[in-house]
Chain A
Amino acid sequence: LAKTTQPISMDSYEGQEVNITCSHNNIATNDYITWYQQFPSQGPRFIIQGYKTKVTNEVASLFIPADRKSSTLSLPRVSLSDTAVYYCLVARGSARQLTFGSGTQLTVLP
């Protein structure tokens, strides 16, 4: 299973754009890159998923370079409610075992 590396924590201010980068050097051909958000004492919530190039939804954008060895989650204009732990995962197409790392604690300050 591909291992991911991401910053332990990040601070930002309300209204700013936040970019969280994840390294996954051993990503396999069949792996997708998925990001989850988790608030305290709640289950992780799917944010976005991609395979290559750029994916955008109503919540975030995901940028994946051609070699796919890293990815960047972009959150536009964050608010206090975006304070959470963000996990980067790589998983096969069948979405079997999800391997979570320690995630990135994002703290949005007023």
Chain B
Amino acid sequence: ETGVTQSPTHLIKTRGQQVTLRCSSQSGHNTVSWYQQALGQGPQFIFQYYREEENGRGNFPPRFSGLQFPNYSSELNVNALELDDSALYLCASSLAGAGGNTEAFFGQGTRLTVV
């Protein structure tokens, strides 16, 4: 149990629709990262938020966007869904600025299926 919770756990959407995934970070953590994991592959970094600002982005198109709220929870929004967006979406929280290295704690993920 990492203290990172994601909702919903499973979701089915139709191509072209929009989706919002939610993440509550571990208490005391100020940084949230989102990852996409396709079947049989390792997680791929989408972006990271630190103190409500985007703090790094992977190779994902602008239709992937995010928000971080004052309580450090976060949302991932995906517009104009495509079939290839079907994946496990993972949220990870960590404490940045603590000095030294920091560990990322992952949630259980949201399984998105686009049909």
Contact = CB atoms under 8 A, between A and B. Distances in A.
Interface string A76-110: 00000000000100010111111111110000000
A71 to B, nearest CB: 14
Given A42-B109, A43-B107, A103-B42, A95 B101 contact: yes
A5 B35 CA distance: 20
Q: Of A34, A95, A100, which is in contact with the most chain B CB atoms at under 10 Å from its CB?
A: A95
Contacts of A32: 101
A85 to B, nearest CB: 8
A91 B88 CA distance: 22
- Category for how many chain A residues contact B: 20 to 34
A29 interface: no
Contacts of B92: 43, 98
Interface of A: 32, 34, 41-46, 49, 51, 87, 91, 93-103
Interface of B: 2, 4, 31, 33, 35, 41-45, 48, 55-56, 58, 88, 90-92, 94, 96-97, 100-109, 111
